[in-house]
């Protein structure tokens, strides 16, 4: 059932998307950077106002 829904909806979602990102298995900081780059290219985010690249944080214990 889920596969059937995916087959029906995926083409519509792709047509309506402003951009798509193949997430695969990137780290969260890499994924955030990919999204920010797409938003910058679309003119929706001012690159001067976004610290780039997003650096992963190490949690201290």
pLDDT of residue 59: 60
Total domains in the chain come to: 1
pLDDT in tens, 20-35: 888 788 888 888 888 8
Give domain status of residue 58, yes or no: no
Instruction: Band the pLDDT of 61: cuts 50, 70, 90.
Output: low
pLDDT of residue 53: 64
Q: Which of 12, 15, 14, 34 is nearest to 23 (CA)?
A: 34
Task: Kindly report the number of other CB atoms within 10 A of residue 60's CB atom.
Answer: 4
pLDDT of residue 11: 95
Q: Identify the residue with better confidence: 19 or 55.
A: 19
Give domain status of residue 22, yes or no: yes
Q: Where are the alpha helices (H) located in the chain, listed in sequence order?
A: 2-16, 28-41
pTM of the model: 0.60
Domain that holds residue 16: 2-49
């Amino acid at each position: 059932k889920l596969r059937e829904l995916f087959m029906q909806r995926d083409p519509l979602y792709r047509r309506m998307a402003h951009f798509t990102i193949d997430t695969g298995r990137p780290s969260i900081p890499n994924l955030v950077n990919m999204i920010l780059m797409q938003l910058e290219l679309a003119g929706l985010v001012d690159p001067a106002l976004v610290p780039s690249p997003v650096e992963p944080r190490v949690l201290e214990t």
